[in-house]
């Protein structure tokens, strides 16, 4: 029988519901199986370009013609579709790729694919001196660069067996809390924008500029400051810092209530986030989730309280928690954490006293008694004249300290700090040389991101966007 006759016979049999095959078949199920096999064989004979190839995601059909109803007949029972969300997509919080399997608009399976922003920062640190490593780690979580600098320097200082001067510790805390505010503001701005609120994006980045202007005034740079150094900070606070910071606090006290008016009590915002991205406490603990996501499930785990570092045990602040464990709870927590950070900054301004900002050990302080130029891009002329005008031995020491670095006793340490996204831990290994043997970071964005499938599967794809935004991952930290 020719292919055309076979097709005509099959189609007529399907239409009238009669059995096919010579002599009849034992059951309708067998008839259907034989019919499917004949149909595939007939299709392949009729058109070699309309074949089927199996992939890890199921059969792929290459069709050049024919009736679409006939072509899709074999897969009409399967309503699931696999799509790629990203890696370049405005709702993926950076260069993140999500492979999402959908049934209608319901997410049946979600997987994250990372690595598109890989910079090799950890490995790069192993080929630089201990101080030069600061310029690398500050570029990982680029929304919280000062948290990376502080964690790294605390680990180096633990290996060295030194403690930064008190004024340097208070300056570090001041910078960390200002940075925490700017990071949470970006969460509000980008998260709101991903959910369709351009107002959140506009006012969020307006407030962030206030913080970045202040950080630029203090450190010389808006981001990637490399201001916190092993042994202390690069230089003392500039003249007029207290008034500038108090002016900033006044601005934020006026503007933060605006978020409550625009979002907290706004029914659209509330309904959009409540009961979305649910992740209970046991799931957080099983996945190693920390930060606001963990605290939204009811556990008041904040390293500033449970394992105080710097002088956090000397300041008074609260650790907000919730039990709803959803996107709305995480939003409320971050807003309250900004209020608490402002509360800490006020106390630090009263605690600051005159004193050195770098350890006195000339073998460690790099560069010793540094003064940065007004552009933040290099040493001031006064500092250069002082170095060049001293003895030849002083110049040689400065040159060797900058180029070769200082030696760190052999050993290994793990030092965690509370970044805006959770526990940021630095594991450093020294073999006694002038550069690290191993640098490894326990990055909260990387760990927290694995909670995305648990939050999203079973919900709508629109809620997947809200869930990822509530995790607030920064891909520079994930890929590092």
Distance CA 450, CA 420 (A): 18
Residue-wise DSSP of 235-251: SPPPTTHHHHHHHHHHH
CB count in 10 Å sphere of residue 463: 22
Distance CA 260, CA 334 (A): 12
Phi, psi of 229 (to 5 degrees): -120, 155
Q: What is the pLDDT of residue 75?
A: 43
b/e map of 38-63 (b: 16 or more CB within 10 Å)? bbeeebeeeeeeeeeeeeeeeeeeee
Q: Using an 8 Å Cβ cutoff, are 90 and 194 in contact?
A: yes
Sheet holding 411-419, edge to edge: 411-419, 422-430, 438-442
Domains annotated on the chain, with CATH: 3-75 (no CATH), 121-366+405-479 (1.10.645.10)
Question: Which residues are CB-contacts of 322 (< 8 A; sequence separation ≥ 6)?
Answer: 295, 296, 297, 298, 329, 332, 333
End-to-end CA distance of the chain: give it in Å, rounded. 64
Question: Which residues are CB-contacts of 264 (< 8 A; sequence separation ≥ 6)?
Answer: 270, 331, 332, 335
Report the candidate in 472, 466, 473, 471 with the shortest Cα–Cα distance to residue 273.
Answer: 466
Q: What is the pLDDT of residue 397?
A: 76
CB count in 10 Å sphere of residue 105: 10
Q: What is the pLDDT of residue 286?
A: 92
pTM: 0.79
Q: What is the pLDDT of residue 373?
A: 59
Q: What is the pLDDT of residue 261?
A: 86
Distance CA 455, CA 198 (A): 25
For residue 275, what are its two tokens? Answer: 């009961």
Q: Using an 8 Å Cβ cutoff, are 178 and 208 in contact?
A: no
Q: What is the pLDDT of residue 148?
A: 94
Residue-wise DSSP of 232-294: EESSPPPTTHHHHHHHHHHHHHHHHHHHIIIIIT-HHHHHHHTTSS---HHHHHHHT--THHH
Q: What is the pLDDT of residue 429?
A: 95
3-state helix, strand, coil in the chain (%, to 5): 50, 10, 35
pLDDT tens by residue, the chain, 480 residues: 444 443 443 333 434 444 444 444 445 555 555 555 555 544 444 445 556 778 777 777 665 555 545 544 544 446 778 888 877 777 777 788 888 888 888 898 888 888 888 888 999 999 999 989 999 999 998 899 999 999 999 999 999 999 999 999 999 999 999 999 999 999 999 888 888 888 888 998 999 999 999 999 998 888 898 899 998 998 889 888 999 999 999 999 999 998 888 888 888 889 999 999 999 999 999 999 999 999 999 999 999 999 999 999 999 999 999 999 999 999 999 999 999 999 999 999 999 989 888 888 878 876 545 565 555 556 667 767 766 676 677 777 778 888 888 889 999 999 999 999 999 999 999 999 999 999 999 999 999 999 999 999 888 998 999 999 999 899 888 988
Report the candidate in 224, 189, 216, 210 with the shortest Cα–Cα distance to residue 90.
Answer: 189
């Amino acid at each position: 029988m020719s292919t055309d006759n076979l097709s005509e016979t099959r189609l007529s049999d399907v239409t009238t519901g009669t059995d096919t095959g010579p002599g009849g078949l034992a059951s309708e199920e067998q008839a259907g199986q034989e019919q499917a096999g004949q149909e595939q064989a007939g299709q392949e004979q009729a058109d070699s370009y309309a074949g089927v190839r199996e992939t890890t995601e199921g059969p792929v059909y290459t069709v050049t013609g024919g009736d679409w109803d006939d072509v899709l007949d074999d897969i009409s029972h399967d309503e699931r579709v696999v799509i790629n969300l990203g890696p370049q997509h405005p709702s993926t919080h950076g260069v993140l790729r999500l492979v999402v399997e959908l049934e209608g608009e319901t997410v049946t399976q979600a997987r994250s694919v990372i690595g598109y922003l890989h910079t090799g920062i950890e490995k790069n640190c192993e080929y630089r001196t201990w101080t030069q490593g600061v310029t690398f780690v500050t570029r990982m979580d680029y929304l919280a660069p000062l948290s990376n600098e502080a964690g790294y320097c605390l680990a180096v200082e633990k290996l060295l067996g030194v403690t930064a001067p008190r004024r340097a510790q208070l300056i570090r805390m001041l910078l960390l809390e200002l940075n925490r505010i700017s990071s949470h503001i970006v969460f509000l701005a980008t998260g709101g924008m991903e959910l369709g609120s351009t107002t959140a994006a506009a006012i969020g980045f307006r407030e962030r500029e206030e913080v970045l202007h202040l950080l630029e005034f203090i450190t010389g740079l808006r981001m990637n400051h490399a201001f916190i150094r092993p042994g202390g900070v690069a230089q003392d606070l500039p003249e007029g810092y207290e008034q500038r910071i108090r002016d900033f606090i006044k601005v934020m006290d006026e503007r933060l209530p605006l978020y409550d008016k625009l979002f907290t009590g706004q029914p659209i915002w509330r309904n959009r986030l409540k009961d979305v991205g649910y992740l209970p406490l046991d799931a957080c603990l099983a996945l190693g989730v920390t930060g606001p996501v963990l605290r939204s499930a009811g556990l008041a785990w904040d390293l500033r309280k449970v394992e105080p570092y710097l002088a956090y045990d000397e300041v008074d602040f609260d650790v907000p928690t919730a039990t709803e464990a959803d996107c709305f709870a995480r939003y409320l927590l971050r807003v309250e954490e900004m209020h608490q950070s402002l509360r800490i900054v006020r106390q630090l301004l009263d605690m600051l006293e005159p004193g050195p900002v770098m350890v006195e050990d000339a073998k460690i302080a790099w560069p010793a008694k540094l003064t940065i130029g007004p552009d933040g891009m290099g040493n001031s002329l006064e500092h250069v004249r002082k170095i060049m005008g001293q003895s030849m031995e002083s110049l040689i020491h400065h040159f060797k300290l900058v180029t070769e670095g200082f030696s760190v006793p052999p050993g290994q340490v793990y030092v965690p700090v509370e970044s805006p996204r959770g526990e940021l831990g630095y594991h450093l290994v020294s073999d006694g040389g002038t550069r690290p043997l191993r640098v490894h970071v326990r990055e909260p964005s990387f760990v927290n991101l694995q909670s995305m499938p648990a939050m999203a599967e079973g919900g709508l794809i629109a809620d997947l966007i809200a869930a990822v935004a509530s995790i607030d991952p920064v891909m520079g930290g994930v890929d590092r």
